[in-house]
Amino acid sequence: MVHHPIGRLTIYASLKSFPLGVSFTQTGKLHFAGAVRVCQSQQIGDRTLTGEVEVKARIESREELARTIKRIGGKFVREVVQEDLYFTHPCRDLKERDEALRLRREGKNYTLTFKGRRVGKGAKIREELEVRVGDFDRTATLLERLGFEKAFIIKKRRKEFVLDGVTIALDSVEGLGEFVEVEVVTTAGKGRRGGLQRMESFKNRLFSMADGLGIPRERLTTESYLELLTSKSSSSKPLR
Mean of per-residue pLDDT scores for the chain: 76
Decide: pTM greater than 0.85.
no
Question: For residue range 183-229, what is the model confidence (pLDDT) as tens digits?
Answer: 876 655 454 455 556 666 778 888 889 999 999 988 999 889 999 98
- Confidence class of residue 20 from pLDDT cuts 50, 70 and 90? very low
Please name the residues in contact with 123: beta carbons below 8 A apart, sequence gap of 6 or more: 53, 54, 55, 199, 203, 206, 207, 222
| pLDDT for residue 236 | 44
3-class secondary structure, 80: strand
What are the two backbone dihedrals, phi and then psi, of residue 148, each rounded to the nearest 5 degrees? -75, 150
- Confidence class of residue 75 from pLDDT cuts 50, 70 and 90? very high
CATH 1.20.1250.20 at 2-230, yes or no: no
DSSP 8-state assignment for residue 8: E
User: Can you spell out the DSSP letters for 164-180?
Assistant: TTEEEEEEEETTTEEEE
Domain limits, the chain:
2-230
